[in-house]
Amino acid sequence: MVVLVLSVLVLSIALGYITKINIGFFSIIGAYFIGCFGLGMKPSEVTELWPVKIFFIIFAVTLFYNFALANGALERLAGHLLYRCRKYPYLLPLAIFGASTIIAALGAGFYTVLAFMAPITLLLCQKTKMNLVIGGMAVNYGALAGANFMTSQSGIIFRSLMESSGVESSTSFAYATSIFVVTIIIPIVVLGLYTFFNRKNSNIQIEDIQPEPFNSAQKKSLFLIVLMMAVVLVFPILHLILPEQETITFLNSKIDIAFIAVLFALISLLMKLADEKKVVALVPWGTLIMICGVGMLISLGVKVGIIEMLTNWLTQNVPVWLIPILLCLISAVMSIFSSTLGVVAPTLFPIVPAIAAASGLNPMILFICIVAGAQSSSISPFSSGGSLIMGSAPEGIDKNKLFNQLLFRAIPVGVFAAIIAIIALNITL
């Protein structure tokens, strides 16, 4: 069954690539036949494998930000960002990374930041002739690194998963801090090297023209974006400051970025900030079908015991020094087709204590390997990061070309950088 699931996954990708039909359709049918006829599951049980949470988050967040896209607010904002960087165009990738990191570290979360920054970044690539791969990596790296901050969305999830695996609270905070440090150093090195070696031959062109001011609808859209971020941030921050306050704890537990985004989308409709049909049409439906369809097949793989098989194999057949590198690669492969937060970390974090005990390795290194590996390939068009980037591509950008660049250029660079970082970490520690 393990071989069958992996074979169907590879076949789905190949058929989608050859026929130009959404890979999600092939994956859904593959999950249906394997689940119902191979594993004896009921059709309703296979249906429940559809990743509702990921679907709803991407749908809700992109729906709200589509108002700013439809009325031109994001394009105008991109123009202002361009103007600010006009004297140092070769630093634009680092500027995008820095802005994404700061917003995500403040607590906005990976999906929110990427949904906001990806359209701006791709517009900048289109306007300035900046490399699409570098632009995509800059915004994706920034959203990931910032979200990994100990008090931000991903950092909190990582800490919770560690503690549920038996790690003490104070130790989990230290491990989460290490994850944040490593995942912010890797992109700085990658983007910094690119900037350094391309500073004289950079093709980035920024016109020294003062952009037009925002109109009323654009100002209102940007105000709602800032207000939504404030709503999403205020209660988690207050909860950190006043953890014993029951009212704040209750409200913090009820705040959800997807529902808040739908609320603000409704407010935008009532304020008539953009045409409803245009906004709904801009939702990346094809991307949603692809990521959720593949997610169903991956969930079947988890059910048939791929993870248990890998754990036993790692601890019994692999040299100790090679385990961190292989764990990094396994995470990277999983993340190509699934979410780091939704699949990779919840699946692999629980096996870390057992592997550490059996091999004598530092658990911190293994946790870092999982996150660094997963996030090195999270720009995959089959995963949440790459799918949001694909869904944010404006008219004029060849999505088939972007798909290939993300899959065959961005992922290899990210995985190679992660492996180098893990090797350096092993040598250092």
The single-letter code of the amino acid at 15 is L
d(CA 187, CA 101): 11
Mean pLDDT value of segment 298-319: 76
Dihedral angle over CA of 218, 221, 226, 232, nearest 10: -170
Kindly report, residue by residue over 119-160, the tens digit of the pLDDT.
Answer: 878 887 877 778 888 888 999 999 999 889 876 778 878 888
Q: Which of 300, 260, 284, 331 is nearest to 33 (CA)?
A: 300
Quickly list H helices, 148-284.
Answer: 153-164, 169-198, 216-241, 246-254, 257-270, 276-281
Return the ∠ at Cα 42 (arms to 41 and 43), rounded to 5°.
115
Helices (H) and strands (E) in the chain, counts: 23, 0
Q: Which of 25, 16, 78 is nearest to 392 (CA)?
A: 78
The continuous run of DSSP H or E covering 76 comes out as: helix 73-84
Kindly report, residue by residue over 17-53, the tens digit of the pLDDT.
Answer: 788 888 889 989 999 999 999 888 999 999 999 888 7
The tokens for 138 are 């800059």
Cβ atoms of residues 134 and 91 within 8 Å: no
Cα distances (angstroms) measured from residue 56 to each of 34, 270, 383: 25, 22, 15
Return the ∠ at Cα 121 (arms to 206 and 181), rounded to 5°.
115
Q: Which of 428, 294, 420 is nearest to 364 (CA)?
A: 428
Three-state DSSP state, 26: helix
Q: Which of 133, 104, 158 is nearest to 331 (CA)?
A: 158
What confidence score (pLDDT) does residue 106 get?
67
Q: Is the pLDDT of residue 164 over 90?
A: no
pLDDT-derived band of residue 107, with 50, 70 and 90 as boundaries? low
Burial of 19 (0-12, 13-18, 19+ CB in 10 A): exposed
Kindly report, residue by residue over 378-391, the tens digit of the pLDDT.
Answer: 888 877 788 778 87
d(CA 24, CA 43): 17
- 410: CB partners within 8 A, 6+ apart: 133, 136, 137, 379
Burial of 393 (0-12, 13-18, 19+ CB in 10 A): buried
pLDDT-derived band of residue 116, with 50, 70 and 90 as boundaries? confident
Q: Is the pLDDT of residue 91 over 90?
A: no
Q: Is the pLDDT of residue 206 over 70?
A: no
Distance from chain centroid for Cα 10:
22
Q: Which of 406, 409, 413 is nearest to 392 (CA)?
A: 406
d(CA 162, CA 165): 5
The tokens for 202 are 């950079």
Model-wide pTM > 0.75: no
Q: Is the pLDDT of residue 340 over 90?
A: no
d(CA 371, CA 355): 16
Return the ∠ at Cα 398 (arms to 202 and 372), rounded to 5°.
65
Among 284-298, 324-338, 367-381, the least confident range: 284-298
pLDDT-derived band of residue 307, with 50, 70 and 90 as boundaries? low
Average of per-residue pLDDT values in the chain:
83
The tokens for 66 are 């589509």
d(CA 317, CA 326): 12
The tokens for 385 are 């990061």
DSSP sequence for 339-385: -IIIIIHHHHGGGHHHHHHHH---HHHHHHHHHHHHHHSTTSTTSHH
> How many CB atoms neighbour CB 343 within 10 A?
23
